[in-house]
Amino acid sequence: MPSKQRRVSGDVRKDEVIRAVRAAFEREPRINLHTHPITGTFDSGTLTLEGEVEHVAAKKLAMSAAIAVPGVHGIIDRLHVVPAERMGDGAVLDAVRDALLEEEALRDCGITLLRKGTRESVRVPRTPASGHILVSVSDGVVLLDDHVSSLAQKQLAGVLAWWVPGSRDVVNGMAVEPPVAATSDRDLAKLVRYVLEKDRLIKADAIRVEARHAVVTLHGDVPTEAQREMAEFDAWYVFGVDRVENRLRVRP
């Protein structure tokens, strides 16, 4: 009987955590559980989240809201984003390859694709210290692996992968060698600014970027609501950004 009682108590505790997580999601206006449901399971302090959310902001905000729930000590992230365009894994892989090859800041990095278990060398690193990016795609999820020589290169490669229309998620597992400390507020703001300027769909001239403790704030004017949203998403795409405060105004 005591064993059964412990089991029942554990099940009740799991249900309480799941209810608290769902309530946290419902309080966040950027998360729409009715059109894009999120399922969760909880065991031994670890919450597993699954589902396809509307956009990257919903994914990141769901993670932030869930980890703040008492009792949740870790999250297994299986949330994916609805892609702008449904593409096969091979097409996504080719598009990520092309984006990496075209980026001047990554010109010295080696690039290898892992396609259906076979490695395809695209470019060898300029020097052994230049870094090497291994790219694979599974069900629209882009995995970036191996290593690069700076945190900015890691962050930029992740953004380029997110920009591919068929990407449902980007898992940026690349190491930075030699290891570096977390990016400074100044460097993070500078990189977000660089990303906004590279985005051909955004007029970034009137956008000002601030960063403090991994929270990025966007100020200024944009001509359309679509650009306001895209600018926010670009900031969310940057590895190391914990939250985005979008204070952009739409002024045609």
Tens digit of pLDDT for each residue in 130-157?
999 999 999 999 999 999 999 999 999 9
Question: Quick check: pTM over 0.85?
Answer: yes
pLDDT digits (tens, 9 = 90+) for 81-121: 999 999 999 999 999 999 999 999 999 999 999 999 999 99
Distances (CA, A) of 157 to 50, 68, 117, 161, 162: 25, 29, 22, 6, 9
| pLDDT band, residue 239 (cuts 50/70/90) | very high
Q: What pLDDT score does 195 carry?
A: 97
pLDDT, position 12: 59
Confidence of residue 7 (pLDDT cuts 50, 70, 90): very low
Return the ∠ at Cα 148 (arms to 147 and 154), rounded to 5°.
105
Residue 164: strand, helix, or coil: coil
Convert the pLDDT of each residue in 180-214 to its tens digit. 877 899 999 999 999 999 999 999 999 999 999 99
Note the helical H segments in 75-221: 89-102, 151-163, 185-198
The pLDDT tens digits of the residues spanning 163-175 come to 999 999 999 999 9
Rounded to the nearest 10°, the torsion over CA 198, 204, 210, 211 is -20
Cα–Cα separations (whole angstroms), residue 88 to 53, 97, 140, 141, 234: 19, 14, 7, 11, 23
| Omega within 30 of 0 (cis) for the link into 70 | no
For position 228, what pLDDT does the model report? 97
**Tens-place pLDDT, residues 13-72:** 899 999 999 999 999 999 999 999 999 999 999 999 999 999 999 999 999 999 999 999
